[in-house]
């Protein structure tokens, strides 16, 4: 396991207490898991993805990750409709371990983009990880 100081936590994404990230990409938002989450899970062997067209409210479960250690739920950081899923993860779930920010999980069209403002910036998320 990585030390907190070794984690890759980009400045240009927002984070949740459940260790998902959200990044604005035009009028959509890509969602994935943080480096901390993939590090804690260990080798990811399966990703359950929602369908394009599914809608979720902030905090709803939208999928699961299965690793050699555990099964973990994924929670929507904001409300919206799924416009794309990362189909590469179906055959290569380990992409989330290799680069959790390139290995996004879903892309949604937000129904209320102001919800992004409530997500953690890098410094706040780092404080959460340190237990501050």
Q: Answer for the pair 33, 74: CB distance below 8 angstroms, yes or no.
A: yes
Tokens of 116: 């992004």
- What does the pLDDT average to over 15-23? 97
| 106: three-class secondary structure by DSSP | strand
The pLDDT assigned to 132 comes to 86
The mean of the pLDDT values for the chain is 97
The model's pLDDT over 78-114, given as tens digits with 9 standing for 90+, comes to 999 999 999 999 999 999 999 999 999 999 999 999 9
- pTM, rounded to two decimals: 0.95
Where b means 16+ CB within 10 Å and e means fewer, 53-68 reads ebebebeeebbebebe
What value does the mean pLDDT take over residues 31-52? 97
Query: Which letter does DSSP use for residue 72 in this model?
Result: E
Considering the domain 13-115, what is its CATH architecture? Answer: Beta Barrel (2.40)
Q: Give domain limits for the chain.
A: 13-115
Residue 93 CA to residue 111 CA, distance in Å, equals 28
């Amino acid at each position: 396991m990585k030390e907190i100081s070794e984690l890759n936590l980009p400045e240009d994404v927002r984070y949740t207490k459940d260790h998902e990230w959200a990044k604005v990409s035009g009028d959509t938002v890509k969602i994935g898991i943080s480096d901390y989450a993939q590090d804690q899970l260990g080798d990811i062997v399966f990703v359950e993805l929602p369908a394009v067209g599914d809608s979720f409210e902030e905090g709803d479960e939208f999928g699961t990750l299965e690793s050699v250690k555990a099964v973990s739920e994924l929670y929507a950081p904001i409300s919206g409709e799924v416009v794309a899923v990362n189909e590469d993860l179906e055959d290569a779930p380990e992409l989330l371990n290799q680069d959790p920010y390139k290995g996004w999980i879903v892309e949604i069209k937000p129904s209320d983009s102001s919800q992004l403002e409530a997500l953690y910036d890098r410094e706040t998320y780092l404080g959460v990880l340190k237990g501050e």
